[in-house]
Amino acid sequence: MADGLSGGCQCGAVRYLIVGAMPPCHACHCRECQKQSASAFGLSLAVARQAFAVTGPVRRWDRPNDLGARTTCVFCVECGTRVFHIDSLTPDRVSVKGGSLDDITLAVPTAHIWVSRKLDWVRLDPAVPTHPTQPEDMAAWRAGFSHSDHT
């Protein structure tokens, strides 16, 4: 999409647009992301809320996270696809689920977090930075990664 990065749920009822520079993508190996993705890890793109627009029927579910904060999980009411999260520690950002991008090839992790909970059979590229848990200051941590323009 020429004017932004687009994505949505499996059934197409929920659609979103991310405007601006390509946000950093990271792979999270925590147990919650493993459960949410029904896989070995979850892919997330940290997007400024003002650069994110979503349409369609969504429902929210809140859960505690490992840092003692709350995570609001947003998903399609029709098909149940998890589309994005909002963390109470960084309410100015949404964490868009990488698998929901229209072009998933753009969701290349620039880092891996919670590698202390990584499944043994997962092999990581040694050139990609890792963190044993979740960085305490996610905003500062994300700022350390270069961004590319997707427009």
Q: For 69-112, how does the pLDDT look when each residue is reduced to its tens digit (9 = 90+)? A: 899 999 999 999 999 999 888 889 999 999 999 999 999 999 99
Q: What is the DSSP string of 87-110?
A: ETT-TTEEEEEGGGBSSGGG---S
At 7-23, the pLDDT tens digits run 999 999 999 999 988 88
Amino acid at 25: C
Q: List all residues 6 or more positions away from 50 whose beta carbon is below 8 Å from its beta carbon.
A: none
Phi, psi of 105 (to 5 degrees): -65, -15
Domains of the chain: 5-149 (3.90.1590.10)
Instruction: For residues 68 and 102, give the distance between their C-alpha atoms in angstroms, rounded to a whole number.
Output: 33
Higher pLDDT, 114 or 139: 114
Model confidence at 62, in pLDDT bands (50, 70, 90)?
Answer: very high
Q: How confident is the model at residue 127 (pLDDT cuts 50, 70, 90)?
A: very high
